Amino acid sequence: MDNQNYNKPILKNARKRTKNETSVLDYVPTAFDSLLGEGKLYCIQTHGCQANVADSEKIKGLLESQGFVETNIEEIADLIIINTCAIRENAEKKVFGELGRYKSMKLKKPELIVAVGGCMPQEEVVVEKLLKTYKQVDIIFGTHNLHKLLDYLQVAIKEKRRVVEVLSVEGEIVEDLPSARDSRFKAWVNIMFGCDEFCTYCIVPYTRGKERSRHPEHILSEVQSLIDQGYKEITLLGQNVNSYGLDFESREYRFSDLLNDLHKMDIPRIRFTTSHPKDFSTEIIDVLSLGGNLMPYIHLPVQSGSNKILKAMNRKYTKESYLKTVQEIRDKIPSISLTTDIIVGFPGETEEDFIETLDLVEKAGFEGAYTFVFSPRSGTPAANFDDSTPNEEKKKRLYRLNKIVNEGFKNGNLRFLDQMVEVLVEGPSKTNPNMLSGYTKHNKLVHFKGDSKLIGSLTSLQIVEAKTWSLTGEEYHG
Ligand code: SAH
Ligand code: SF4
Ligand code: F3S
């Protein structure tokens, strides 16, 4: 079964960038003799960022179009799919651990199909490891070909053959894929795919291909259809949304134009992620300052406060220019809530460099941050940089940083104490099923007691308590 002509990833090809215009394909479903998933259950695990969450909704859409029904009980599933993330070693370790469990499940139930997709298979080292030691995996596919999943399933189910197809290409745009969205009121909307930044620590440009923007008319019509279905909030997705449209050859249409057009539409809330500081232009800030359905919340990953480290990371901005952007945002949108991502222990980071990061965190006034210890990724430049800082020291830095970050988190919540806020009610609170929860315009989590009829609505609440990680609200009765 193993001497097939597999299509494996090639890191060298994944790095290539040409000037060729991205082709846009309309998804054409394969016509099968009978429904592939009739009477079959599937279970999907999603790791990583929102790009993967959105991809998983497309995978679900494809599966459900063939009659598969979702279950979250692995033991009864006929098909298990893991949509993987390669961003840090820990993320990968988790997946290999899960695959270990499926080995014994497959011994008991040989007809079980296990599929691994997403960012991990885009790495040469991962596919080699999967082929060598994880024979329980039937299908290996990548980020560029999830729209072919049903064809791969057909081969695995009907022909009982293993399928390995991972493309190391710049990528295309596939429109009209079905999507089974997790929420009835919050939706992800991809506005672009891939990344051309090549930050020296990051695997994403290798796993996701070149930066390619969806045409605005496709985005706007997707949003219109979400409005028609009653959606209340959209989050625009891209690895660097601020460079949206830079790849268009025959039109001048940028992220600020897209925000401007969406601002005029009848969707109550618009968010976006992720922003790259170097491309956060005055035009974008000016559009955001219109307010209305453009939410006063920006996630603006800074990674480090040391200019030496920022240069080594290939981030193309400085501590000073970052703080200048933050100032311009605060001047034009005074109530803005800012969060960030920070990597500690990047190769060559000294105590002085780290202090620069702490200083920047204080000055920028973040109200939250995702903080990480640097994890070397095979094939990226930083994996070969000299790194003499002991792991123990890196962990201490992470701890010191988190203490300051958490204070910012709490301060961000405190400023809403006694205020009225608007919350998009999502459902029962994860920590207390007797409470409901949802997010404010500034992306603050609020728990409150209320009727489940409120789920899916925008509700006004009075904030009566501000804790570090959440707010407590009450319905206002005059
Ligand atoms: N495109 C987004 C984020 C992508 S990954 C951006 O540019 O901001 C999310 C976060 O993971 C990054 O912001 C970074 O802080 C972190 N990250 C990426 N590669 C990493 C690595 N090798 N080690 C540790 N953290 C990493
Ligand atoms: Fe990775 Fe940098 Fe691209 Fe973000 S901008 S995905 S950190 S290479
Ligand atoms: Fe992970 Fe791929 Fe996203 S590596 S962070 S799932 S783009």
Phi, psi (degrees; rounded to nearest 5) at 355: -60, -35
Residues 159 and 179 grouped into a single domain: no
Residues 366 and 439 grouped into a single domain: no
In a domain, 389, yes or no: yes
Identity (one letter) of the amino acid at 462? Q
Instruction: Tell me the CA distances in angstroms from 212 to 12, 53, 196, one per residue in order.
Output: 19, 19, 9
In a domain, 5, yes or no: no
Residues 251 and 383 grouped into a single domain: yes
279 Cβ below 6 A of ligand 2: no
Residues 445 and 368 grouped into a single domain: no
198 Cβ below 6 A of ligand 2: yes
3-class SS of residue 163: strand
Residues 216 and 110 grouped into a single domain: no
Whose CA is closest to 327, among 356, 353, 300, 307? 300
- CATH for 448: 2.40.50.140
Residue 228 CA, ligand 3 centroid: distance in Å: 31
User: Given the CA of residue 303, which atom of ligand 1 is nearest to it?
Assistant: 15
Q: Which of these three, 165, 190, 209, is where a domain ends? A: 165
pLDDT, residue 5, reads 76
In a domain, 403, yes or no: no
Residues 182 and 145 grouped into a single domain: no
Task: State the Cα–Cα distance between residues 6 and 464, nearest whole angstrom.
Answer: 59
In a domain, 411, yes or no: no
Q: Which of these three, 394, 411, 429, is where a domain ends? A: 394
Residues 310 and 186 grouped into a single domain: yes
Task: State the Cα–Cα distance between residues 88 and 84, nearest whole angstrom.
Answer: 11
Predicted TM-score (pTM) of the model is: 0.97
Residues 123 and 206 grouped into a single domain: no
Residues 275 and 332 grouped into a single domain: yes
Report yes or no: 202 and 185 within 8 Å, Cβ to Cβ: no
Instruction: Please name every residue paired with 337 in a beta bridge, in sequence order, or none if there are none.
Output: 297
In a domain, 408, yes or no: no
Look up the domain containing 72 and give its range. 11-28+35-165
**Tokens 């991990």 belong to which residue?**
120
Report yes or no: 275 and 329 within 8 Å, Cβ to Cβ: no
- CATH for 144: 3.40.50.12160
Report yes or no: 164 and 127 within 8 Å, Cβ to Cβ: yes
Residues 122 and 16 grouped into a single domain: yes
In a domain, 187, yes or no: yes
- CATH for 240: 3.80.30.20
Question: Which of 17, 50, 197 for a ligand 2 pocket mutation test, highest count of atoms within 8 Å of Cβ?
Answer: 197
Q: What is the residue with the minimal CA distance to atom 11 of ligand 1?
A: 87
Give the number of domains in the chain.
Answer: 3
Over its C-alpha atoms, the chain yields an Rg (Å, rounded) of: 23
85 Cβ below 6 A of ligand 3: yes
Instruction: Tell me the CA distances in angstroms from 433 to 41, 430, 436, 452, 459, one per residue in order.
Output: 28, 6, 7, 11, 19
Residues 147 and 62 grouped into a single domain: yes
Burial of 60 (0-12, 13-18, 19+ CB in 10 A): buried
Instruction: Please name every residue paired with 234 in a beta bridge, in sequence order, or none if there are none.
Output: 187, 270
Phi, psi (degrees; rounded to nearest 5) at 126: -70, -45
**pLDDT averaged per 10 residues in sequence order, the chain, 478 residues:** 76 92 93 93 97 98 97 96 97 93 91 97 95 94 97 94 95 96 97 97 97 97 98 98 94 97 98 96 97 98 98 98 98 98 98 98 98 96 97 98 98 97 96 95 98 96 97 87
Instruction: Tell me the CA distances in angstroms from 246 to 168, 182, 190, 209, 243, one per residue in order.
Output: 22, 31, 16, 16, 6
In a domain, 266, yes or no: yes
In a domain, 413, yes or no: no
User: Given the CA of residue 275, which atom of ligand 1 is nearest to it?
Assistant: 8
Residues 118 and 42 grouped into a single domain: yes
Q: What is the residue with the minimal CA distance to atom 8 of ligand 1?
A: 301
Beta strand pairing call for 69-70 and 41-46: parallel
DSSP 367-383: S-EEEEE----TTSGGG
Residue 187 corresponds to which tokens in the numbers above? Answer: 């939706």
Residues with CB under 6 A from ligand 1: 87-88, 201-202, 204, 239-240, 274, 276, 301, 303, 341, 343, 372, 374-375, 377
438 Cβ below 6 A of ligand 2: no
Q: Which of these three, 100, 131, 165, is where a domain ends? A: 165
Task: State the Cα–Cα distance between residues 301 and 274, nearest whole angstrom.
Answer: 8
